[in-house]
Structure 1
Amino acid sequence: MAPVNKAASLSEPKAYPLKIDSSPYPTAGDGEIIVKVAAAAVNPMDWYIQLLGNDLFNWIQYPYIGGTDIAGTVVEVGPNVSKFKVGDRVVGLAGGFKPRFGGFQNYAALEVKTVTPIPDDLGFAEASVVPLGIATAACALYQKDFLALDHPSLNPKPNGKTLLIWAGASSVGTNAIQLAVASGYEVYTTSSPKNFDYCKQLGAARVFDYHSPTITQDLIEAFKGKTCAGGFVIHQGSEKIVFKVVRQSQGNKFVACAVNPTNVPEGVQAKMVFAGTLRDNEVGPLIFDQFLPAALSQKKYQCLPKPLVVGHGLEHVQVALDKGKSGGVSAQKLVVTL
């Protein structure tokens, strides 16, 4: 008999609060595992979907179960899966918008191509902060039609190039800094002054105050004599500055954007990044198979921003969404344990 599954779901567009009810127990398809969810992180997309519903994505089917960042224990292994067995502790990026993949439930299906094993001394809540952040950053940094950077390694050698990452203390920025440094790049980033030390601890060489009235000129000056590896925009509204800096620097004139780029100046290329695309190219295995397992076990990759555990149980998912929506969470990621 299948275990009893419960989920926190949206029964219809813009429903509030989330409904906690029984949900079909997922079966493991080809290349999939079933995970008993121990922790799920909350991302802005989760509260935007609740707030905006079909105005944001008109193809969402209801009931909808959110949650893209999942950590837990493997309870079932599907056909053609050799890299995991029942009992393994894992963290993964949930795939797509089907209910069976959502993290806000007791049991979820995961495609193994975006799952990584975690060491025994790494807590589920700590691990759960990584998947969407690292996937978004990796797509921007390594995909051939984006920044196409050198691949990360456990013992990187400096390559003499400097990357600009806007919003280094964000979840995506946190992962982007660590990946870029593991790939041998010098990283210049921006944050509020209270997060300068945090960004430096991640490996950033220099951190600039993004509220400074002279930020554009400061960055242009800083890149003089440097070979620019390109830019990565994470926060809406910063594109204009990054475009200007990259355009006036020597090197790669490409800017990867976690937002939709508009008014891209002549001489600069910019494209919006989507985390899920690494499922279909070499970047997925590069991160989840080749780099992350060893980096986590050898303590060469930090699971940050730190989890802020909102509570234990599905009823706390709505609390976490509300907290995220209200803002004020800095250099932390909201997590619910199950």
Structure 2
Amino acid sequence: MAIRTRQALLSSPGGQLELVSHAQVPAPGPGMLLCRTAAVGLNPADAKSGDYTLSSGSVSGFDFAGEVVEVGPGVIRFRAGDRVAGFAYGYNPDDKYMGAFADMVLAAEDFALRIPPEWSFEQGATLGVVVATAGLAISTYLDIPLPFPDAKDDLDANHSGANPDLSEYVLVSGGATATGMIAIQLLRLSGFQPVATCSPSSMELVRSLGAVATFDYRSPTCAADVKTFTGDSLQRALDCVTSAETMSMCYAAISSSTGGRYVALDPVSLHVKYTRRDVSADWVLALSMFGTPVKLAGVYGRPASPALRELAAKVFSMAEGLIARGALREPIFQVREGGLGAVEMGIEELRRGGTHGKLVYPLADFRYPGSSSR
């Protein structure tokens, strides 16, 4: 029997990516899906992985959308032909077949969700990492119950702000980032009142997602304005930008009488962290949700956590249900042409900064009717 091959972007020494056309197509094992890729999405983590990965020759990338071709033993939620989006474990030193930047992707059932017929694959390719990151940050680090189906009888009522008793504020720094946009929606669906920082040009968008107030992150009075609006009651902050400046702003906005929790998406500034002993600070690494040790250099390494793998399955199932009922929107994104061959240019663009929305690359040989940019 001939070995099937696929086109894939492999990590290589020096942090570069190598496009190959003869990578082996793996058979899906227990709990795994083999998907034909329609689009891939870029994340800041792609720009960092070249510096921290310990695995040359592994398939790179995290976000994808496509069609299920084959399912492995024990898969329950999916079957061949399903349109899905997901989070693949790219740059994986323990399984070099994993990774999203390939025209055939091997993905775990726990990290995939079905996308509705009216969604394009480009929309789906924005979701994987940010759904995992927002779900982990909110539930585990901020200690806020997520809107799982068995926990909420009326998500739509909560989203509309119909319950006046649910008045606890949560600050989302970087409300117009991809993770911030998902986090705001999940917080509102959970019955909390998200307040967000963003640029003035993004305020209308961020409010449409459920933020009850928005503040200009460039204003020198940003933290004081948040503190005034919340009546010095803010106890939770999610920093989707994560710099010393945004951490200081979040710290200053957190209640001076009670303290609280701060969670970031990158390692936190120790200089800022210990300016307040009444604030608990930590940071999120989405790869830890796979439940296995994260074998990355320095502070990016994490021990195994089977409990987080269980959480991931719940988070992606929850997101699928919310999307199906129109209660969760995708982040803003830009569609770029060139397929896998153009991905590395996009990663360089992320390194330079200044992109507005996620970058999504459709694969030229797999475009569905209705595919679009937003």
TM-score under structure 1 normalisation? Answer: 0.90
* Pairs within 5 Å for 1:85-96: 85-95=79-89
Q: How many residues align?
A: 324
Aligned twin of 2:99: 102
Q: d(CA) in 1 for partners of 2:334 and 2:345?
A: 12
* Pairs within 5 Å for 1:105-254: 105-143=102-140, 146-152=141-147, 153=152, 154-157=155-158, 158=163, 159-224=166-231, 226=233, 228-235=234-241, 236-237=243-244, 238-248=246-256, 250=258, 253-254=260-261
Alpha-carbon spacing, 1:125–1:38, altered in 2? closer, same or farther (3 Å): same
SS of equivalent residue, structure 1 residue 295: helix
Stretch deviating more after TM superposition (270-279 or 179-188): 270-279
Contact 1:3/1:25 (8 A) holds in 2: yes
Q: d(CA) in 2 for partners of 1:82 and 1:329?
A: 38
The alignment yields a C-alpha RMSD, in angstroms, of 1.9
1:65 offset after TM fit, Å? Answer: 2.2
Aligned twin of 1:266: 277
Q: d(CA) in 2 for partners of 1:123 and 1:186?
A: 30
Q: d(CA) in 2 for partners of 1:246 and 1:278?
A: 28
Unaligned ranges ≥5, structure 1: none
Question: What percent identity do the matched residue pairs reach?
Answer: 25
Q: d(CA) in 2 for partners of 1:64 and 1:22?
A: 13
* Pairs within 5 Å for 1:247-326: 247-248=255-256, 250=258, 253-261=260-268, 262=270, 263-264=272-273, 265-279=276-290, 280-281=306-307, 282-289=310-317, 291-305=318-332, 307-326=333-352
1:220 offset after TM fit, Å? Answer: 1.5
Alpha-carbon spacing, 1:131–1:11, altered in 2? closer, same or farther (3 Å): same
1:156 offset after TM fit, Å? Answer: 4.9
Q: d(CA) in 2 for partners of 1:225 and 1:9?
A: 49
Contact 1:320/1:336 (8 A) holds in 2: no
Q: What does the per-residue CA deviation read over 1:142-192, in whole Å, with 9 as the maximum and x for residues that have no partner?
A: 12xx11112215335342211011010111111111110111111111011
1:229 offset after TM fit, Å? Answer: 4.7
Alpha-carbon spacing, 1:131–1:229, altered in 2? closer, same or farther (3 Å): farther
Contact 1:7/1:23 (8 A) holds in 2: yes
Stretch deviating more after TM superposition (202-211 or 147-156): 147-156
Alpha-carbon spacing, 1:139–1:170, altered in 2? closer, same or farther (3 Å): same
Aligned twin of 2:299: none
SS of equivalent residue, structure 2 residue 337: strand
Q: d(CA) in 1 for partners of 2:342 and 2:232?
A: 51
Query: Which amino acid is 1:318 matched to?
Result: E
Stretch deviating more after TM superposition (101-110 or 307-316): 307-316
SS of equivalent residue, structure 2 residue 288: helix
Contact 1:41/1:335 (8 A) holds in 2: yes
TM-score under structure 2 normalisation? Answer: 0.82
Aligned twin of 2:362: 337
Q: d(CA) in 1 for partners of 2:128 and 2:341?
A: 23
Contact 1:167/1:190 (8 A) holds in 2: yes
1:2 offset after TM fit, Å? Answer: 5.1
Q: d(CA) in 1 for partners of 2:9 and 2:266?
A: 28
Q: d(CA) in 2 for partners of 1:61 and 1:259?
A: 21
1:225 offset after TM fit, Å? Answer: 6.1
Contact 2:3/2:24 (8 A) holds in 1: no
Q: What does the per-residue CA deviation read over 1:109-142, in whole Å, with 9 as the maximum and x for residues that have no partner?
A: 1111111111111111111101111111111101
Q: What does the per-residue CA deviation read over 1:238-289, in whole Å, with 9 as the maximum and x for residues that have no partner?
A: 1122122214265x71111112122321111111111133343343133211
Q: d(CA) in 2 for partners of 1:266 and 1:156?
A: 37
1:312 offset after TM fit, Å? Answer: 4.1
Query: Which amino acid is 1:9 matched to?
Result: L
Q: d(CA) in 1 for partners of 2:126 and 2:56?
A: 26
SS of equivalent residue, structure 2 residue 116: coil
Query: Which amino acid is 1:232 matched to?
Result: L
Query: Which amino acid is 2:314 matched to?
Result: L
Stretch deviating more after TM superposition (89-98 or 122-131): 89-98
* Pairs within 5 Å for 1:10-89: 10-15=11-16, 18-50=18-50, 52=51, 56-57=52-53, 60-89=54-83
